[in-house]
Amino acid sequence: MIKNMIRKIVACLLVIVIGGLLPLQYGKVQAAGPFSGGSGTTQDPWIITTPAQLDAVRNNLSAYYKLGSDIDVTNDTQNSAGLFYNSGAGWVPIGTSSAAFTGALDGGGNKIIGLRINRPATDYLGLFGKVASRGVVRNIGLESINVRGNNYLGGLVGDNAGGTISNVYVTTSSVSGGGMGGYVGGLAGYNESSGTISNAYAAVTVSGGTMVGGLVGYNSSTISNAYATGYVSGGGTYVGGLVGDNVGTISDVFATGSVSGTTGVGGLVGFNNSAYSVIRNAYATGSARGTDSVGGLIGDNFGGAISNAYATGSVSGTGSNLGGLVGKHTPSAPTSNLFYDKNTTGRSDTKLGVPKTTTEMKTQSTYSGWDFTTVWILSSSANNGYPVLLQLCTITYNSNGADGGTAPTDNNEYARGESIKVPGNTGNLVKTGYTFAGWNTMADGKGTSYAEGSTFKLGMSNATLYAKWTLNKYMVSFNVNGGSAAASQTVPHNEYAVKPTSDPTKPGYNFAGWYMDGTYATVFDFANMAITGDTTIYAKWTAVPNSTINPATGSFDKLISAQADVTTTMTLNGNTLTDIQWNGASIGQANFLVSGSMVTIKKEYLASLGTGAQVFTFVMSGGTNPTLTVTVSDTTLSAPTALTATAGNGQVSLSWSGVSGAVTYSVYQGTVSGSYGSTSIATVSGVIYSYTAEGLVNGTTYYFVVKASNAGGSSSNSNEASATPQAGAGTISDNANLSGLSLSNAALSPAFDASTTSYAANVANSVSSLTVTASVYDPAATVTVNGVGVASGQASGPISLSVGSNTITVVVTAQSGATKTYTITATRAASNSGSSSGGDSPSSSVGSGQIGFRVIIDGKTLDQIATGAMTQENKRTVLTAKVDAARLAAQLAQEGDKPVIVIPASTVSSDKVTVELTGDAVKAMEGKQAVLEVQTANGNYKLPAAQIVIDRLASQLGSQVKLSDIVVHVDIVKSDDAQAKLAANAAEQGKLSVIAPPVDFAVTASYNGQTVEVDKFSTYVERDIPLPDGVAPSKVTTATVLAADGKVYHVPTYIAAYDGKYYAVVNSLTNSTYALIWHPVTFVDMEGHWAKEAVNDMASRMVVNGVDVTHFSPNAAITRAEFAAMIVRALGLADKGSTSAYSDVKTGDWYMGAVAKAQEYGIIEGYKNGTFGPAKTISREESMAIIARAMKLAGIDAGISGPEAEAVLGKFADGVVSAWAKQAVATVVKSGIVSGSDQGLQPTSDITRAETAAIVQRLLKTAKLIDNKNAK
């Protein structure tokens, strides 16, 4: 009964507060100004939805505003880039002490979150600085705010000077007054001049100096229907749980927070200031602690009127004025019906109020004179059994549209501000198409959400929590039944799936629509069938009849006179021809004609193909694609080869190598290279391989080619040969005289004379090099300068000059072989100063110059064999380790064969490490089969001395050079900015990641100003590149060579760990710049394929390429050119060969470089007719012959005898291998690189792309050049 009575009274009397606010009635919103709508009038307020719009309120302090949504200003006030950060001072309050807010702000039940103010020396702080008469703030909440200032501080307003504040709250916040600042409250610092605060609460931690209150610091007006729950502390006087200093009227209020201060500390009010101060219908439950004048309800009541109030909180202090209800009481205005709990307050004084036991305090009869009908209620289920103001609150759970189950029921009644634990879906609420997601303060789910077990805090009135429903979303998938994929969709409940924009395709079938299930009984209607659960939609197919062609074979001869189109006739069976493809790619519409059912492939296109069986696929709109196999032959004569021309007196003698099938040879002549006219100068019999062109002009150079001919036509041109007839040709000259000799930067002394062979020249110290120009008397003679050939009359390359004497030797060799030597002694003056010229010198010493250096030979650490020096080159640090040849030779004499000589420099920080040896030191190491291992922080180099080939270098530098005069440099260099940029560009273009910056490895030999580079080895040479710290081995795919043009290509690499650190072990046949990369590649058509791992590994290493970005076409045949390119890339060679000996491999062909490089290394061979057949598919036995040669280059020893080869191949039922390939095939099989299949070796069958990738990977693994632990 009491519950019904309370509900009726609450329904009649209570003003609805936040969470249940009735919306104000406004006119239609019209967007204008900086706001989201409205015009700023009472009927049409400005609508605020953003922090910037909230800030704009200060621009018109008398207009009308309304929040259209919650406003979160956390980032704007706390982050340095925030709109209201203001160098950390935060929000600037709206309205000041001199220009107050007089308009209206209606929160509309929304809240402002995250407000921050940090202005310790500033007064009048809060969301509003000051609200004056006519100002209205209502229906708004503030959460998670922080206000720090001096005086007049409040979460909502610093000073409410006559304004009306209602239905507001501040929670989970703090307000702090610096030092002894006063007038500090959780909601308002000051409430004066007829200002009213009603239906309000604050759950705020409040601190300050004097006049500090949980809700209001100082009140001289009216506060009603309000409470405060936060902790309140003051460093001075008058501190209260609700109000610090009250000179006005406070009614229907309570406070629950603890309070501490000095003098005048009360659980509700610190100082009830005068006879005009009124407190009625109030209670306090928090503790009060201070020095003097401390009371459970009021600290100091200076004549104020108090009625119908009680206190239960503990009271403590050091002074004498301590009381359970009031600490100090000066009677004046009347007081009545006042009580306190003597058990909980710890007091039993009778200053004011009647002390009662806890039991008595929870008994209604104790409170004589109280109105328990319209003002108070006492219930064991509310406020721990103590009386509460009649506005007890209930909570209702609304099922919010559920179509099953029941909402929870809570029959309890709660005090305002009490916390309630929220239940779950205890009544099993259900709503079709939705999932229960907890509770929300608003039916549309836009309020505050509460999960099961979370805490809901009541406000000032009854509350309703609405079931929160989230709309279900379902997966709609498409079963394409073997066709091309269709993307799945996520569709909300009762909405519609979207029909795929394009129909799926399936070879041999027509798409017949989408159906509800696999029985294909009902068509799926995308426009009208709403989705109410996870759904699968099925593709229906109807078979397409196959097209045929007749004939399915043809032949074509590349001989020009025999060339003819190839035709066939189609039977379409309802399909259409969409394209003709060869090797998986379109041959192009220009290369075939369709006339009705007849198809013609043009002879011009066929002539461009290699010989052998060429398969053309006729791509149809449906069904299986028929194929046409054209056997291409070439009966064209080969061009003559080895044409030579020998000059005579007025004539040139020609000879050449004949070709099979030639009937005649025609000779063509011209005086410009490459131009011979269309008419031959002579035709000789097919059995004659020479001709003498007569009647020629001496001194004129003539160019010749020869063509072979028969009844079928003529061959292409032979190679070009040229000669220059001379008078008296045939007589050998022995004239080795010079006709002229000069220097670029000095004069000869004496002046040149052909008979004088010794000269001197002097140059200044500033001249560091010069060139020599020598002219021969006899054009048939040749000349060298310091052993380097120089054209007669042309300047030599720059010759470096040391300070002091420099000898330059010019040697002239006559046609007969006789020689004459001219010697120049060039003296370079010394520098005027005793030190280096600084910036003019390319190298300046740093540190302490020479440093001690130890060398390790076969594990023994030795001193005195090398010295080290730190220098700088172009602002880069260089460590040079110079090896003493004599001491090294002496030590090597004591060692066995194959010693390892370690230059340890890994602990030295430098951009470049150079090991300097003389040629005789290298020769001594070569004699011992020694390996030089250079260890640096940027990488290690393990170089067999024999791979330097010092004798060959010596011959390149000059025939008379002593090995001891040759300087060999072994360099390991960290990349500079240019190389790093080059690598970055290569990464961007190749869609790969550079894991470690480039490192350059180089070997050079120098003598007397000349330098030659060792850039090619006969076997693989190992380098180690350290992985950067933090890089996992699994994130390194391979090392690549970074070429000077910015291109990268694979070099065999695997990962190893030494002494707890990971290295990329790189094996290369060249010296290059290397970078580590991450380049994972996968192909969708390799899923489930037996060669998936090998193909993806080789693609990631850039050895093989897909037919497009996502497809590899594993079962397609591979051409000879493609196979050669894969082998070249796999072995780490650049596919940049310059010339090819094969007539069908031309400059501009994509494969020319790879074929030329493979030929250079002896990996491939062509056919007897001088062709390579790049477009022909390659058979398995041809591929194994190439693999066998690659094995030898990779150092795999798989020698096999003839009988052993027969035994190996005899294991296969189809082991009939061509005689020329038998040894190679057996070698590859024995090594395990090829193992055959259930069908045998199939030596004459085409090898597929997948088989090639697998074989190439096995080759590299067998050679221990890679592993695949880190490949993706």
Q: Which residue has the tokens 């009680």?
A: 310
Q: 10 Å Cβ neighbour count for 677?
A: 9
Q: What is the pLDDT of residue 1009?
A: 82
pLDDT at 695 over 70: yes
Residues 590 and 665 in one domain: no
Q: Which of 4-8, 788-792, 1209-1213 tops mean pLDDT?
A: 788-792
623: which residues sit within 8 A by CB, 6+ positions away?
Answer: 507, 508, 544, 545, 546, 547, 573, 575
The residue behind tokens 């403590």 is 316
Percent of the chain with pLDDT over 70: 93
Q: What one-character-per-residue DSSP string does 1078-1124 give?
A: E-----GGGTT-TTHHHHHHHHHTTSS--SSSS---TTSB-BHHHHH
Asked if the model's pLDDT at residue 833 lies above 50, the reply is no
Same domain, 1065 and 1183: no
- Residue 1048 contacts residue 1075 (beta carbons within 8 Å): yes
For 684-711, the DSSP string reads EETT--EEEE-SPPTT--EEEEEEEEET
Do the beta carbons of residue 38 and residue 59 sit within 8 Å? no
The answer to whether residue 778 scores a pLDDT higher than 90 is no
CA angle 496, 500, 503 (to 5 degrees): 140
Closest-CA residue to 943 (of 933, 952, 929): 933
pLDDT of residue 295: 97
Tokens of 59: 């621009």
How many independent structural domains does the chain possess?
8
Residues 6+ apart with CB under 8 A from 1140: 1146, 1152, 1155, 1156, 1159, 1172
Give pLDDT, residue 1153: 87
Whether 374 and 429 share a structural domain: no
Selection from 1242, 1234, 1225 nearest residue 1185 by Cα: 1225
Label each residue of 235-264 as H, E or C: CCCCEECCEEEECCEEEEEEECCCEECCEE
335 versus 1151: the higher-pLDDT residue is 335
Instruction: For residue 223, give the nearest of 185, 270, 279, 183 by alpha carbon.
Output: 279
Per-residue b or e along 439-468, where b marks 16 or more CB atoms closer than 10 Å to that residue's CB: bbbbeebebebbeeeeebbbbbbbbbbbbb
- Cα–Cα–Cα angle for 585, 587, 588, nearest 5°? 115
pLDDT above 60 for 642? yes
pLDDT, tens only, 287-304? 999 999 999 999 999 999
Which of 1043, 1077, 1111 is the endpoint of a domain? 1077
- Look at the alpha carbons of 653, 657, 662, 668 in this order and tell me if their dihedral is positive or negative: negative
Q: Is the pLDDT of residue 834 over 80?
A: no
Instruction: Give domain status of residue 365, yes or no.
Output: yes
Identify the three-state secondary structure at position 1183.
Answer: helix
Cα separation values, 463 from 171, 230, 413, 424, 544, Å = 17, 22, 11, 17, 69
Residue 650 in domain: yes
The band of 2, judged by pLDDT with boundaries at 50, 70 and 90, is: very low
pLDDT at 800: 82
Domain check: are 1025 and 1066 in the same one?
yes
User: Are β-strands 111-113 and 136-143 bridged in parallel, bridged antiparallel, or unpaired?
Assistant: parallel
Q: Do 537 and 521 belong together in one domain?
A: yes
- pLDDT at residue 766 in the model: 77
Q: Are 1010 and 926 in contact (CB under 8 A)?
A: no
Q: Is residue 24 part of a domain?
A: yes
Segment 187-242, tens digit of pLDDT = 999 999 899 999 999 999 999 999 999 999 999 999 999 999 999 999 999 999 99
Q: What pLDDT does 1029 receive? A: 84
Among the listed ranges 608-617, 839-848, 1098-1107, 1193-1202, which one has the minimum average pLDDT value?
Answer: 839-848
pLDDT of 968 > 90? The answer is yes
Q: Is residue 972 part of a domain?
A: yes
> CA nearest 1071: which of 955, 1200, 1176, 934?
934
Q: What integer is the mean pLDDT of 56-63? A: 96
pLDDT of 1056 above 50:
yes
The pLDDT, as a whole number, for residue 895 is 85
What's the rounded Cα separation, in Å, for the pair 1119 and 1123?
Answer: 6
Considering 271-285, 637-651, 1177-1191, the range whose residues carry the highest mean pLDDT is 271-285
For residues 433 and 496, membership in a common domain is answered with no
Does 824 map to a domain? yes
Give helix 1152-1160 / helix 1120-1130 axis angle, nearest 10°. Answer: 60
Residue whose token pair is 């621009």:
59
- pLDDT tens, position by position, 583-611: 989 999 999 999 999 999 999 999 999 88
Q: Which of 743, 678, 740 is nearest to 705 (CA)?
A: 678
Q: Domain check: are 297 and 154 in the same one?
A: yes
Q: Among the three residues 1077, 1098, 1113, which one is the final residue of a domain in this structure?
A: 1077
The CATH number of residue 658's host domain is 2.60.40.10
Residue 433 CB contacts under 8 Å (≥ 6 apart), including other chains: 471, 472, 493, 494, 532
Residue 326 lies in a domain: yes
Strand partners, 1066: 1023, 1053
679 and 717: one domain? yes
User: What confidence tens digit (pLDDT) does each residue in 553-580 have?
Assistant: 999 988 877 889 999 999 998 889 999 9
Q: Residue 836 — very low, low, confident or very high, per pLDDT cuts 50/70/90? A: very low
Q: Please give the backbone phi and psi of residue 378, each rounded to the nearest 5 degrees, phi first.
A: -125, 120
Tokens (6 digits) for 555: 């032949």
Whole-model pTM: value is: 0.41
State the CATH number of the domain containing residue 747.
2.60.40
Domain-embedded: residue 5: no
Q: Does residue 172 share a domain with residue 115?
A: yes
Q: Are 497 and 476 within 8 A, CB to CB?
A: yes
Percentage above 90 pLDDT, the chain:
48
Mean pLDDT (the chain) is: 87
Report CA dihedral (442, 443, 449, 450) to the nearest 10 degrees.
Answer: 110
- Looking at the predicted structure, is the pLDDT value of residue 685 above 90? no
327 and 439, same structural domain? no
Q: Residue 1148: what pLDDT?
A: 82
Domain termination residue (choose one: 764, 795, 828): 828
**Type of residue numbered 868:** G
For the ranges 323-327, 421-425, 752-756, 931-935, the lowest mean pLDDT is seen at 752-756
HSE-CB at 1223 with a 13 A cutoff on CA atoms is 6
Q: Which of 1107, 1127, 1124 minimizes the C-alpha distance to 1115?
A: 1107
Residue 1148 neighbours by CB distance under 10 Å: 5
Half-sphere exposure of 671 (CA within 13 A, CB side): 7
Which long-range contacts link 451-455 to residues 24+ away (Cβ below 8 Å)?
A: 451/422, 452/422, 452/423, 452/424, 452/425, 453/421, 453/422, 453/424, 454/421, 454/422, 455/419, 455/420, 455/421, 455/422
pLDDT at 364: 94
Q: Is residue 804 assigned to a domain?
A: yes
User: For the domain that residue 124 is a member of, what is the CATH number?
Assistant: 2.160.20.110
449: domain range? 395-471
| Per-residue model confidence (pLDDT) at position 4 | 40
Q: Do residues 297 and 284 lie in contact, with contact meaning Cβ atoms separated by under 8 Å? A: yes
Number of H helices, E strands in the chain: 17, 89
Exposed/middle/buried for residue 1220 (C-beta within 10 Å: 0-12, 13-18, 19+): exposed
Does residue 152 sit in the same domain as residue 37?
yes
Per-residue model confidence as pLDDT tens digits over 1195-1212: 887 678 778 888 888 777
Ranges assigned E (strand) in 794-859: 799-800, 804-813, 819-828, 843-857
Residues 980 and 941 in one domain: yes
- Sorting pLDDT into bands at 50, 70 and 90, what band is 705? very high
